[in-house]
Chain A
Amino acid sequence: KNEVEQSPQNLTAQEGEFITINCSYSVGISALHWLQQHPGGGIVSLFMLSSGKKKHGRLIATINIQEKHSSLHITASHPRDSAVYICAVEGGTDKLIFGTGTRLQVFP
């Protein structure tokens, strides 16, 4: 069983739609990261959070430590948001444990 599970695996949206990507984890964590992987492969860090909620532009990330669950929301989605969104957790050691990613496509 994967320690980090994401849903959905694939997501298609029309421009302007509100998008939610979910992440559940089964290990104790010190922090959770949301990352964006571009079609070319590069990875960009979007959020790192250990409690509550963070917002950056149209992106919002929330985490519920008790339920071991996090969500990434994109408001007013745009075709340039098309990418793979990856949830990764820090289990108190150096390494990040990655989910399998959610592939998002936003159509005009």
Chain B
Amino acid sequence: EPEVTQTPSHQVTQMGQEVILRCVPISNHLYFYWYRQILGQKVEFLVSFYNNEISEKSEIFDDQFSVERPDGSNFTLKIRSTKLEDSAMYFCASSEARVGQPQHFGDGTRLSIL
């Protein structure tokens, strides 16, 4: 069964450094998402992406964050200057349609900011 893959599984970065989290969505999916989960808290929506542009973003997704689909397969989340509070598990998801279809999640990237 096709799956969403995320790399790396764990990223350790110094505060202030840039980090790029990578995702390969399911190939025929058109809608892409990033979520984050701070340790011990619920999953929170960051951003959705369709047709090479952001379709919705949350208050968390400030100017430090950006997303890109640089080629036909990868979907990336960049954090420009990481802060301690960016430490979290970041999940990528994809779906066939905007609403009414299940979202398929990757296994997540655990980001640790030192």
Contacting pair B103 A45 (CB below 8 A): yes
| Chain B neighbourhood of A88, CB < 8 A | 43
Which chain A residue shows the least CB distance to B106? A42
Counting contact residues on chain A (CB < 8 A from B), the size range is 20 to 34
Contact call B89/A33, Cβ cutoff below 8 A: no
Chain B nearest CB from A48 CB (Å) reads 5
Task: For the complex, count residues of B whose C-beta is within 8 A of A.
Answer: 28
Whether the Cβ atoms of A94 and B48 lie closer than 8 Å is: yes
Find out whether the CB atom of B89 lies under 8 angstroms from the CB atom of A41: yes
| Contact call B101/A48, Cβ cutoff below 8 A | yes
Alpha-carbon separation in the docked complex, A86 to B41 (Å): 12
Contacts of B100 in A (CB 8 A): 30-31, 48, 50, 90
- B interface, CB within 8 angstroms of A: 31, 33, 35, 37, 41-45, 48, 50, 55-56, 58, 89, 91, 98-108, 110
